[in-house]
Structure 1
Amino acid sequence: MGTVSLLCLIVFMSCRSRVFNVKDAWIWGLTLLFGFLLALGMLIKETVLMVLVYVFVIEYTLFSNGRQGWPKWAHKLICFVGVLGLALPVFYYFARLDYMNELWSRRDFSATERMLSESRVLLEYLKGTLIPSMTASPYHDDFEPSSGLFQPFSTFLCVVVISFLLGAALYFRRVFLVSFPIFWFFGGHYLESTFLPIELYFEHRNYLPILGVFIALAFGVARCEGRLKLLLRAAVGVYVALCLGLALLASALWGDSVAQAKVWAAEHPNSKRAQDQLLNHYINIGDADGIDGVVKNVISVHGDELPSLLVAYWVQQCVRKGEITYVTRDRIFSLAEKQIINVGAAQMLKTFDAEIGREQCVGVGPSFLVELVGTMREAGKLEGEVIPIIIAMQTLARAHIRLQEVEVGVKILGDAYEVMPRYDLRLLQAYYSAQIGDFELAKHYVEEARLAPKHNRYSHLYKEEDIKVTEERIRRLAEGRTF
């Protein structure tokens, strides 16, 4: 996405640097190429739409006085397209308001809290890029959201700083070195660092927005004259050398999975992802004391969250084989009745399902999953996001099938299909129906799988092959009977 965005901007600047002539085929050719690249980028990731915002920033700052050889209507049209790039995400948000509200219900922060928090996140992006760290971690899921303008007080300070920067950019609009980097940076974060119900902090969102700051710095240094030019170039040289030195030291940490797991877990004790990495390391080397330390820390911090307790119970029963007690079944089932299924809990259900299938767990079998998922289902907690629901119901179906309750499992897969019509669910129903000898019903499910709509943009690529594989498995089960 970033590469396509940069290609779009290169094409735009190539077009904008030419003298406008309606008979110039290059102008229209470059315009079509820009549109093609933008459409290609949309297939990769929708956030490529921010290219239009970058175009607006370039036009609004670099070409704020227009450009000799370009008519005013063309300048206004480009600005209009840029403003359209700002408006489209808002239109989409309100067009999918029910879906957005559903996503907000899955977050532990509100829309207002996210907007306030992002003021701190944006300045963290700047600090983290301009003042790099040797031990910088990619884990930021422990970033505490702002609960109010003064909670924490740094939220207020960040809002003031950002307001001052935007005000300065507006006031000095025609001073390229002031307006361009500010509008580019904040414009680049317009989509993912404002009103969308997504996670608070991910550094990859900063890759393109920070580019404007460095372009302005490089341009400013190149424009200086005399002693100031030599002084600034020397400062840049020292800064680059410092960054290279830190990168060299950081590469040693990034190249050592053991060291990074320990360092990042120590720096981010509240990060589930950092703790998971360290936990996996201790499991791989069989360090019981290390495992105990991580699990107990996770429970102390996230003990009121079902996914964390499921992780602890999995370690307890499937890794430590019941030698230690971190959490009781009653505590897990109590939370299962209160918390709506999410991706984390669903993934742990899949983990239990796989471990039970390999008979790796002590005291945990299919009946545990039947009881657990059944409890969530009866309590009305299988709702909200579709994918976790599908994972939970597939897990429940497999558990019933392992208990020789195949017809019940097939029915549950049918219930899952009602939640989200997926051809693979129908194929599972077909295969399990064939297992109990109902080949006519299996044939019916295969035909329904063929008619099932796409459940994601790639499902059609594998659909026919999956159907052929399932039909072959059913033929083998039929032992020569016509299918």
Structure 2
Amino acid sequence: MPMMKYRWLWLAALLFVCTLVYWPAMHGPFLFDDFPNLAALSSISHVLSWRDLGIYLSQPRQFPGRPVAMLSFLLQKASWPDHPFPFRLVNVGVHLLNGVLVFALVRRVAPRWLSNLASSGAFERRADLVAILAAAAWLLNPIQLSGVVLIVQRMTLLMAMFTLLGMLAYLRGLLENTLPTWRRGAWMTLGLGACMLLAFLSKENGVLLPLYALVLDATVLRAEVRQLPLPLAWLRRLLIWPVVLFVLCFLLWILPAEWGHQGTRDFTVGQRLLTEPRILFNYLYKIFLPHFGHYGLYHDGYTVSRSLLSPWTTLPSLLILLSALVAALAGLRRWPLFALAVLWYLGGQILESSTITLELYFEHRNYVPLVGPMLALALAVARFPQGRLQRMARVLGGAWLLACGFTTWLSARAYTSEDSLALTWAHNQPDSARAQTYLAERLYKHGQLNAAMQVLNHAARRHPNNASLAINQVFVQCKLGSLTQADLDRLDARLLTIHFDQGGMEGMEPMRLLADDGQCPALTPQSWLKLNDALLANPAYRNNGVAAGYLHYQKHYWAVGQGNLDLAIHELQATYQNDPNANIPRMEAKYLVSAGLYGQAIAVLRNTSYSRLPLLRRLLVNDRAINAADISQIESLQLQSTSTRAGKTD
């Protein structure tokens, strides 16, 4: 069957197989980062005005807030938080679309690399074969799984979609030399301008689109770049180099400020730079040697490189990585496919795996970087001469694709329920505090408190400075009825110096609710307050605005429960000081109004410091107008109250 004639049938079959591979995960639960990121859907009940839309889009603290991805979630608001299936269905659909775009991208590039083949028929067949192979290798690789089934990673999926669309538009302008110059320039601008902006507004990695274009131009498209008319050559430079240089300068600019500073991580930037080469090789190991059980969300137990020799694999990994980079740069002409694979992959990792102090390890960071190596491998296979070597390459490639698809399917089956996920991840990631905590949570929900306690105790011995584990231990002890004052005293002492952990901070809310319910004799509201104050005294939490704001916010609820209005107002003010939120002054005003202190409530709203609000909030929401409307309502209530008192006096 001629490949060229049935290319779309082959592509449709590939998409169908990919859908079957991912289908077991479709009914899985919301997970991990889904909850804090999609919680913005609960910030509004409906969207009836631009103000409602602005309130929703301004929920992220950082500018610009990934609005394209956030808008896609808003379209599915009716399914939150009870129905993850529609969200995941869209994710898989976008993944399939991206597979089509990878096919189109490779099909566009392949003819330039295969142009010296003698027969035009062979030329076309091999170009189609290259595109199908690359798309299949990219779509079915198991390392893509978490980027697709973790719902919040639609941000990555949409970023990839606009990146691939941008590459296709740019290549149309670069390669279609029959078009007028102005149209070619328009296509290039659309690709590296408009599409890059949309990719960036989906996720910040979208800014790397010009870097990907530069890698293609410098490796397999060098001749086409040299043939550009002078105006297009300059336009290309203006579209690529300023962005690439900006990214590189930004990464270097933040390095001195972050060097040696741990912040909320248990590693410094220097240690991160030593660790990431090992992680990149671990990614590549998972990509090219698929095996069930090693793919998932929780890799917080990955060993940090504290020096060049600790662990011993640090120095070899760093040297091999640097050698590959130097060889790729030096071999742009001699080994263009090798250079394409190395530079595209490393370039795609440059933001999330370098000087920005993000978490160390996430598999979804390979989503777009994987395109380059798959393209290079497919082109290399297609250039093999007819004969035994080519047949062997095709057999090995087919077997590898089958292994990838089967491993992805097996891994997707683990997502069918939270219980299967918890068991799989806890078994395969014994050093991950998150994986062990997740298993303990599932055991707790099934009423297996003793088993949950055993899991937490075992994990705590591995991670004695993990706040989340320490707080969860006390929580389960409460439920078992075995908590003593001595346990609380030990926890209080540990919280004063324990390492920062977001789970520990968030664990204070269920602890407060447990204390308020009186279900645990040892954990009283007063003992909870002591624990909360211990975390606030810990510099790792006190100096983190979000953490300190959260803990002061929890403390305000404690004050409300004790009927202490002054302390509740004070804690809300501390919350706003640490983590400004436009709703905090309104909560203050609400409490003051309920106490009949109308004048103070009005003063709080009038004196709100709007300049402290995040930039995104100030741009999208007119909080002055909202507060002004609230002031008018309070003044009306004050007038009614005055009239009522005057009537009673008469």
Residue 440 (1) aligns with residue 599 (2) = yes
Secondary structure of the corresponding residue to residue 430 of structure 2: coil
Q: Distance in 2 between matches of 1:90 and 1:33?
A: 21
User: Quick one: structure 1 residues 238 and 32, their matched pair in 2 at CA, closer, same or farther if it must change by over 3 Å?
Assistant: closer
In the other structure, the counterpart of 1:293 is 454
Secondary structure of the corresponding residue to residue 457 of structure 1: helix
Residue 407 (1) aligns with residue 566 (2) = yes
The one of 210, 219, 240 equivalent to 1:52 is 210
Q: Distance in 2 between matches of 1:102 and 1:471?
A: 48
- TM alignment of 1:175-194, pairs within 5 A: 175-194=335-354
Stretch of structure 1 that moved more, 238-247 or 142-151: 238-247
The one-letter amino acid paired with 2:348 is G
Stretch of structure 1 that moved more, 292-301 or 471-480: 471-480
Residue 366 (1) aligns with residue 525 (2) = yes
In the other structure, the counterpart of 1:231 is 392
Q: Distance in 1 between matches of 2:516 and 2:260?
A: 34
Residues 153-176 of structure 1 show CA distances to partners (whole Å, capped at 9, x for unaligned) of 212222232233223323321232
In the other structure, the counterpart of 1:9 is 167
Q: Distance in 1 between matches of 2:512 and 2:247?
A: 39
Q: Distance in 1 between matches of 2:310 and 2:499?
A: 28
The one-letter amino acid paired with 2:497 is K
The one of 225, 234, 246 equivalent to 1:88 is 246
Q: Distance in 1 between matches of 2:636 and 2:473?
A: 41
What is the alpha-carbon root mean square deviation over aligned residues?
A: 3.4
The one of 405, 417, 421 equivalent to 2:580 is 421
> Does the CA-based 8 Å contact 2:436-2:459 persist in structure 1?
yes
Residue 202 (1) aligns with residue 362 (2) = yes
The one-letter amino acid paired with 2:475 is W
Q: Distance in 1 between matches of 2:310 and 2:346?
A: 23
Give, in angstroms, the shift of residue 119 of structure 1: 0.9
Give, in angstroms, the shift of residue 452 of structure 1: 6.2
Larger RCO: 1 or 2 (CA < 8 Å, sep 6+): 2
The one of 375, 381, 385 equivalent to 1:215 is 375
In the other structure, the counterpart of 1:265 is 426
User: Quick one: structure 1 residues 287 and 356, their matched pair in 2 at CA, closer, same or farther if it must change by over 3 Å?
Assistant: same
The one-letter amino acid paired with 1:200 is L
The one-letter amino acid paired with 1:205 is R
Residue 167 (1) aligns with residue 326 (2) = yes
Give, in angstroms, the shift of residue 8 of structure 1: 1.5
In the other structure, the counterpart of 1:390 is 549
User: Quick one: structure 1 residues 134 and 291, their matched pair in 2 at CA, closer, same or farther if it must change by over 3 Å?
Assistant: same
Q: Distance in 1 between matches of 2:568 and 2:499?
A: 22
> Does the CA-based 8 Å contact 1:61-1:176 persist in structure 2?
yes
User: Quick one: structure 1 residues 355 and 17, their matched pair in 2 at CA, closer, same or farther if it must change by over 3 Å?
Assistant: farther
Q: Distance in 1 between matches of 2:171 and 2:636?
A: 62
In the other structure, the counterpart of 1:303 is 464
Residue 279 (1) aligns with residue 279 (2) = no
> Does the CA-based 8 Å contact 2:163-2:196 persist in structure 1?
yes
Secondary structure of the corresponding residue to residue 358 of structure 2: coil
Q: Distance in 2 between matches of 1:292 and 1:421?
A: 37
> Does the CA-based 8 Å contact 2:468-2:504 persist in structure 1?
yes
Give, in angstroms, the shift of residue 177 of structure 1: 1.7
Secondary structure of the corresponding residue to residue 452 of structure 2: helix
Give, in angstroms, the shift of residue 143 of structure 1: 0.4
User: Quick one: structure 1 residues 365 and 87, their matched pair in 2 at CA, closer, same or farther if it must change by over 3 Å?
Assistant: farther
Give, in angstroms, the shift of residue 214 of structure 1: 0.7
Q: Distance in 1 between matches of 2:338 and 2:191?
A: 31
Give, in angstroms, the shift of residue 152 of structure 1: 1.7
User: Quick one: structure 1 residues 67 and 355, their matched pair in 2 at CA, closer, same or farther if it must change by over 3 Å?
Assistant: same
Give the fraction of aligned pairs with identical amino acids, expressed as a percent: 21
User: Quick one: structure 1 residues 356 and 26, their matched pair in 2 at CA, closer, same or farther if it must change by over 3 Å?
Assistant: farther
User: Quick one: structure 1 residues 467 and 350, their matched pair in 2 at CA, closer, same or farther if it must change by over 3 Å?
Assistant: farther
User: Quick one: structure 1 residues 89 and 167, their matched pair in 2 at CA, closer, same or farther if it must change by over 3 Å?
Assistant: closer
Q: Distance in 2 between matches of 1:266 and 1:238?
A: 28
Q: Distance in 1 between matches of 2:367 and 2:243?
A: 19
Q: Distance in 2 between matches of 1:326 and 1:151?
A: 40
Q: Distance in 2 between matches of 1:10 and 1:354?
A: 54
Residues 393-432 of structure 1 show CA distances to partners (whole Å, capped at 9, x for unaligned) of 1111111121111111101211332334322111121112
The one-letter amino acid paired with 2:597 is D
The one-letter amino acid paired with 2:413 is A
Stretch of structure 1 that moved more, 473-482 or 363-372: 473-482
Give, in angstroms, the shift of residue 129 of structure 1: 1.1
User: Quick one: structure 1 residues 456 and 358, their matched pair in 2 at CA, closer, same or farther if it must change by over 3 Å?
Assistant: farther
Q: Distance in 2 between matches of 1:122 and 1:449?
A: 47
Stretch of structure 1 that moved more, 74-83 or 335-344: 74-83
The one-letter amino acid paired with 1:301 is R
Structure-1-length-normalised TM-score: 0.88
The one of 129, 139, 148 equivalent to 2:287 is 129
Residue 64 (1) aligns with residue 226 (2) = no
Q: Distance in 2 between matches of 1:311 and 1:249?
A: 31
Q: Distance in 2 between matches of 1:245 and 1:140?
A: 23
Stretch of structure 1 that moved more, 461-470 or 340-349: 461-470
Give, in angstroms, the shift of residue 353 of structure 1: 3.0
The one-letter amino acid paired with 1:253 is A
Unaligned runs of 5+ in 1: none
Q: Distance in 2 between matches of 1:162 and 1:429?
A: 55
Stretch of structure 1 that moved more, 89-98 or 150-159: 89-98
Give, in angstroms, the shift of residue 205 of structure 1: 0.7
Q: Distance in 2 between matches of 1:465 and 1:98?
A: 42
User: Quick one: structure 1 residues 94 and 440, their matched pair in 2 at CA, closer, same or farther if it must change by over 3 Å?
Assistant: farther
- TM alignment of 1:442-461, pairs within 5 A: 442-448=601-607, 451=610, 454-455=613-614, 457=616, 460=620
In the other structure, the counterpart of 1:25 is 183
> Does the CA-based 8 Å contact 1:350-1:395 persist in structure 2?
yes
In the other structure, the counterpart of 2:496 is 337
Residues 244-284 of structure 1 show CA distances to partners (whole Å, capped at 9, x for unaligned) of 22233333323243233122212212211101210111011
